[in-house]
Amino acid sequence: MKIDFDPEVDAAYLQLDDTKILNSEEVMPGVVFDFNEQGGVVGVEILGVRKKNPSHLLNLKIPFLCPDDRKAFESFLMEHAQV
């Protein structure tokens, strides 16, 4: 997993997989899941990261490939999201 954060626009992107994005869906205000051809989540865009409640973001059904990816996401949120 790769996490990119742009502080100027307060947006983050979690790249879970490098397969081609077929479509996207906003799953909650400011959070967009990108899906591949098989319907799997390959990326997550989060707009307004600093204004989001970390617990709400952690409750999203993000299919992390390994436990370390979830830990990295938790650390990222503790550093950048509203606590």
Number of domains in the chain: 1
If phi > 0 it is left, if psi is from -120 to 50 it is alpha, else beta; for residue 39 that is left
Mean pLDDT over 15-32 rounds to 96
Considering the chain, what percentage of its residues have pLDDT values greater than 90?
90
Question: Residue 82: its pLDDT value, please?
Answer: 78
Q: By residue range, what is the domain housing residue 40? A: 2-80
Across residues 58-69, what is the average pLDDT? Answer: 93
- pLDDT attached to residue 81: 87
Under the banding of pLDDT at 50, 70 and 90, the label for residue 48 is very high
Taking 70 as the threshold, does the pLDDT of residue 83 lie above it?
A: no
Q: Rounded mean pLDDT of 48-59?
A: 92
* For range 8-13, the mean pLDDT: 97
